[in-house]
Amino acid sequence: MPCKRTNIGESAPKYGRSVVVERFVISGGIPLEGEISVHGAKNSSLPLLAATVLCKNESVLHNCPNLSDVDAACKILKYLGCGVKREGNTVAVNTKEITHSDVPDDLMREMRSSVVFLGAIVARLGRAEICFPGGCELGARPIDLHLQALRKLGMEIEESHGKLICSAEHGLVGTSINLTFPSVGATENIMLAAALAEGETVINNAAQEPEIIDLANFVNACGGKVKDAGKSRIIIEGVKELHGCEYRVIPDRIVAATYLCCAAATGGNILVKDLCADHIASILPLMEEMGCKLDITQDSVAIRAPKRLKALKDVRTMPYPGFPTDAQAPLMAAAATANGTSIFAENIFESRYKHVGELCRMGADIKIAGKVALVEGVDTLYGANVRATDLRGGAALIIAGLGAKGRTEISEIKHIDRGYEEIEKNLCLLGADIKRML
């Protein structure tokens, strides 16, 4: 199938960095076949880029995906005075000279995880001024846990007119911090702030995601002392300074899950390479429950989907190692045409069913009752004009469009570009008919 950007009326600007409105157009009903590789993890790259602020020379990140969220993090680094160079999927960051301690409002609003820069900037400079971050609107995602923890480390934080004015004139001091929820972002912010703090910091009820382990490994490669990352209790012994290093970002487990759902929804037969199977251990049994045949190795998963999937009895999003909230929408799109009723329970974000209305426009039968979604499988979905409401909801619409009869047009694809690198080109390698159009 052809795979190219189609321009209508004017020449196209550079891929993925356009100020014009783009959309995906999909002709569905084609079973996917072939091999596809998983790019580096968005949710690991962003805190790693923030962590480079702690170092006083150059750091080099390999397997760093070319995403709009990563671009936003690089813009913040450049504003702070860092030198940033990208060649392919390698990003070099020189943090020898940092000339600013503030982050402008427009840069903070580009992505939610921009708040992770707070701990790193104060740890390095002793001060910071930022506004509240942006990103997908998924309901209440307060940064109170971040602020409470950073205050325990000795950071003075004044909230004024939407800004956070932060300082630690005499440096940060290690302490014991008990998180009321294993927040990934809060755990990362504490780790970054504590890396240069005086003494030992203990995080209880810490997040255990693979991205937390990746951040700890990077900090340690730079001369830090982080122990037991990936467990509920993390210990950070502060050091006087960190140096840069070369480091490779882990594969994106949500991208891997998305490609598996694409194959499942189309009755496809594909090999997903360059992943870490352990990171998607909570997802693979669900694919098998739907009737997919899997051949699993440490760094790949081959999936052969049936003509019609089986329903899922109970899918509950939970903190890692449970089923990830980021994979809920993609899996729901695949389950929309399964035989029987699938049950989803969203326990992380209160507004993560925004994609449901768009799936229903394509003929899905989904009912929401609080945190629970009942998905009554229909015989088929039909192409329609739909809108990506957020990053993972946008991925769900691509999955639905690939499996649907007819033509699907997805607008607001800027959300999808935040977390998927050239997804249309990658899917075309599997035989999909999907085009990016102006």
Q: Whole-angstrom Cα distance, residue 188 to residue 80?
A: 20
Determine if residue 390 is labeled as part of a ligand binding site: no
Is 314 annotated as belonging to a binding site? no
Q: Is residue 193 part of a domain?
A: yes
What's the rounded mean pLDDT across residues 203-226?
A: 98
Do residues 260 and 409 both lie within one domain? yes
* Domain count within the chain: 2
Average pLDDT estimate for 351-377: 95
Do 257 and 310 reside in the same domain of the chain? yes
Question: Cα dihedral sign for 376, 301, 218, 415?
Answer: negative
Identify the pLDDT of residue 138.
38
**pLDDT-derived band at 19, boundaries 50, 70, 90:** low
In a domain, 89, yes or no: yes
145 among the known binding-site residues? yes
Domain that holds residue 257: 23-39+251-437
Q: Is residue 8 part of a domain?
A: no
103 and 191 in a common domain: yes
Query: Could you tell me if 72 and 168 lie in one domain?
Result: yes
Domain check: are 310 and 172 in the same one?
A: no
**Does pLDDT of 249 surpass 80?**
yes
Same structural domain, 356 and 286: yes
Cα–Cα distance measured from residue 419 to residue 388, given in angstroms and rounded to the nearest whole number: 13
Share of the chain above pLDDT 90, in %: 88
Check whether residue 224 and residue 282 sit in a common domain. Answer: no
- The DSSP output letter for 312 is P
Tell whether 141 is in a known binding site: yes
* 408-426 confidence digits (pLDDT tens): 999 999 999 999 999 999 9
Average pLDDT of the chain is: 93
Residues taking part in catalysis: 136
**Is 137's pLDDT higher than 80?**
no
Q: Is the pLDDT of residue 16 over 60?
A: no
- Asked if the structure places residue 123 within a domain, the reply is yes
Is 418 found in the same domain as 362? yes
Whether 146 shows a pLDDT value over 60: the answer reads yes
Q: Is residue 10 part of a domain?
A: no
Give the residue-averaged pLDDT of 72-98.
97
- Does residue 171 have a pLDDT over 70? yes
CA pair distance 277, 288, nearest whole angstrom = 14
Residues 151 and 237 in one domain: yes
Q: Are residues 264 and 386 in the same domain?
A: yes
**Last-in-domain residue among 248, 276, 299:** 248
CB 404 within 8 A of CB 362: yes
**Looking at 27-41, 142-156, 220-234, which range is the least confident one?**
142-156
Q: Which of 226, 248, 270 is the last residue of a domain?
A: 248
280 is in an annotated binding site: no
Q: Is 348 annotated as a binding residue?
A: yes
Which of these three, 220, 248, 276, is where a domain ends? Answer: 248
Name, in order, each residue with C-beta under 8 angstroms of 287's C-beta and a sequence gap of 6 or more.
260, 264, 294, 303
Domain harbouring 237, CATH code: 3.65.10.10
Q: Is 118 annotated as a binding residue?
A: no
**108/176 same-domain check:** yes
262 and 225, same structural domain?
A: no
